[in-house]
């Protein structure tokens, strides 16, 4: 052997035995976490200072022992909010499926880069199959396709990039400044990522027209029609109508078929943000709630919301899959291939915003294999039932009132002491109530603005939530609400 040949450096190359020993320790931590969930509060008592004190450490030059690493990770778990706890009812954030979490080890272990088919043939196939299954549940035609992206924000951005290119095809090369003014239309209840997408796509946030909502927080179609007509008369080109299937605040579903009809009449791209509510497509019983979604040109769906998948696993589904390549393809010498010599599938890195892509499909796929679709459908239906139950209990309780009819798995309600009519005081009271219930930590709700009034909000996307957790939420609201109201903490009316 030549003298100058570098000797191997294998420090990072753990043997299978070493890998198993470490994995066993991590699995112990994970199963310990699962065991703790029924009794542990949804949120720990923690401050930025206590988190820093417990977790900050210098990056070591030499390895730590497994015992030291596990002690550190246990401290991390102890100081973590538990979105997997049944009492976690905030935002639209769940705990992730157990098979999903475990299969993430395999996905990261394999580390397939699903940007290129040649380096991820099996992973690309799994993702394609999953996309096809979802597109079928939404009722899209066989021309449909799509991919996983890192969250609903990017899915909305991708869908609206397709819409922009549809409305102004030279936009890709010449920019939006070279064309007519473009506009997006969405309800005042839609997610802020629609405006963010308009900004990123060069249209500017002001190009997003906010259509008002009806008493049930659904987009007013007459208003949509009027706004489009006004813009067209002024020379503005409508680029997309964005309906929401499950608004973030109250779970409202816009009248999808009616909105689609308006979009179609004006030849405008129809995007549905079903990041949250899209999950009901998995249930044959609830699927009719999404009637009209099959007319969409593009759909955002977050599996990490109500399909309970680990973060972040979102889908962008497109009626005509070929458009993705038209809007995102690129040429570079370092990814050239002789496709006439060797057969290969599509490179998903050329069909969307991300080039390198993780194998996120596996966590959804394995959970579907391990539980079966019906288990997801049953649980989603149960979440809807639990939410109706909560709304009924709230209605029966004198100091509580629902802020609007419950929709999907969201119920918004407020504490309203007898005889108080000052709405601003009630807003402050309910905002503080949310803060105090969160600080208490046993259950963890968030808030919503419903017709401009502040309400507590319970959103079930954790499959461990049961009536007992919702009862605790109501009990806390009554107990802490009474203390805040009578204790003079807030300026009284
Ligand atoms: C309706 C809706 N769209 C989009 C998003 C953004 O999704 P993500 O947080 O996955 O980026 C959310 C997040 O809550 C949402 O509720």
Strand pairing of 269-273 and 237-244?
parallel
- The pTM of this model reads 0.97
| Per-residue three-class SS string for 186-253 | EECCCCCHHHHHHHHCCCCHHHEEEECECCCCCECHHHHHHHHHHHHHCCCEEEEEEEEECCCCCCCE
CA of 275 to the centre of ligand 1 (A): 6
Residue nearest to atom 7 of ligand 1 (CA): 152
Q: How far apart are CA 275 and CA 299, in angstroms?
A: 8
CA of 271 to the centre of ligand 1 (A): 14
Most informative mutation of 302, 303, 307 for ligand 1 (most atoms within 8 A of CB)? 302
Rg, C-alpha atoms of the chain: 25
Give the 3-state secondary structure of residue 148. strand
Residues 96, 90 contacting (CB under 8 angstroms): no
Q: Give residues (CB < 6 A) around ligand 1.
A: 92, 151-153, 156, 191, 193, 244, 248, 273, 275-276, 302, 314
CA of 88 to the centre of ligand 1 (A): 18
Per the structure block, which two tokens stand in for 219? 């987009």
Q: Could you report the per-residue pLDDT of 100-127, keeping only the tens digit for each?
A: 999 999 999 999 999 999 999 999 999 9
Q: How far apart are CA 12 and CA 491, in angstroms?
A: 61
Q: What is the mean pLDDT of the segment spanning 436-456?
A: 97
Residue nearest to atom 8 of ligand 1 (CA): 152
CA of 152 to the centre of ligand 1 (A): 5
Name which of 130, 70, 438, 136 is nearest 309 in CA terms. Answer: 130
Q: Could you report the per-residue pLDDT of 173-223, keeping only the tens digit for each?
A: 999 999 999 999 999 999 999 999 999 999 999 999 999 999 999 999 999
- Ligand 1 atom nearest 302 alpha carbon: 10
- Calculate the alpha carbon distances from 436 to 86, 89, 394, 405, 456 in Å: 19, 15, 19, 25, 12
Q: Could you report the per-residue pLDDT of 255-289, keeping only the tens digit for each?
A: 999 999 999 999 999 999 999 999 999 999 999 99
Helix boundaries (H) for 321-458:
322-328, 361-371, 373-396, 423-440
């Amino acid at each position: 052997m030549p003298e100058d040949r570098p000797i191997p450096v294998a420090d990072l190359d753990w043997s299978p035995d070493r890998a198993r020993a470490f994995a066993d320790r991590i699995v112990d931590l994970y199963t310990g976490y699962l065991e703790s969930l029924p009794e542990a509060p949804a949120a720990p008592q923690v401050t930025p200072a206590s988190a820093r004190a417990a977790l900050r450490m210098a990056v070591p030059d030499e390895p730590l022992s497994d015992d030291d690493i596990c002690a550190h990770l246990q401290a991390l778990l102890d100081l973590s909010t538990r979105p997997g706890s049944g009492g976690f009812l905030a935002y639209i954030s769940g705990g992730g499926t157990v098979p999903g979490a475990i299969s993430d080890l395999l996905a990261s272990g394999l580390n397939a880069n699903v940007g290129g088919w040649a380096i991820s043939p099996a992973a690309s196939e799994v993702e394609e199959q999953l996309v096809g299954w979802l597109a079928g549940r939404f009722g899209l035609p066989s021309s449909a396709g799509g991919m996983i992206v890192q969250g609903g924000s990017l899915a909305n951005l991708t869908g609206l990039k397709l819409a922009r290119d549809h409305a102004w095809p030279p936009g890709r090369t010449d920019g939006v400044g070279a064309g007519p003014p473009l506009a997006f239309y969405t309800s005042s209840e839609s997610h802020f990522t629609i405006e963010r997408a308009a900004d990123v796509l060069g249209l500017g946030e002001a190009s997003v027209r906010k259509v008002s909502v009806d008493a049930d927080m659904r987009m007013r179609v007459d208003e949509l029609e009027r706004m489009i007509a006004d813009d067209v008369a002024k020379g503005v080109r409508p680029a997309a109508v964005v309906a929401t299937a499950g608004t973030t605040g109250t779970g409202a579903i816009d009248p999808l078929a009616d909105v689609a009809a308006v979009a179609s009449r004006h030849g405008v791209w129809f995007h549905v943000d079903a990041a949250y509510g899209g999950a009901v497509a998995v249930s044959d019983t609830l699927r009719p709630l999404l009637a009209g979604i099959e007319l969409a040109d593009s759909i955002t769906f977050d599996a990490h919301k109500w399909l309970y998948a680990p973060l972040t696993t979102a889908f962008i589904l497109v009626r005509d899959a070929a458009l993705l390549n038209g809007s995102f393809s690129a040429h570079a010498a370092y990814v050239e291939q002789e496709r006439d010599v060797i057969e290969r599938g599509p490179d998903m890195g050329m069909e969307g915003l991300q080039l390198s892509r993780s194998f996120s499909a596996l966590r959804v796929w394995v959970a579907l294999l391990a539980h079966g679709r019906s288990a997801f459908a049953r649980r989603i239906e149960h979440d809807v039932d639990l939410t109706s139950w909560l709304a009924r209990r709230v209605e029966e309780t004198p100091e509580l009132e629902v802020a609007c009819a419950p929709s999907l798995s969201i119920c918004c309600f407020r504490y309203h002491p007898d005889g108080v009519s000052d709405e601003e005081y009630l807003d402050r009271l309910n905002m503080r109530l949310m803060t105090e219930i969160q600080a208490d930590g046993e259950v963890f709700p968030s808030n919503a603005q419903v017709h401009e009034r502040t309400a507590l909000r319970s959103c079930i996307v954790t499959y461990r939530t049961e009536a007992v957790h919702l009862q605790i939420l109501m009990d806390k609201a009554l107990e802490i609400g009474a203390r805040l109201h009578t204790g003079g903490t807030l300026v009284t009316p």
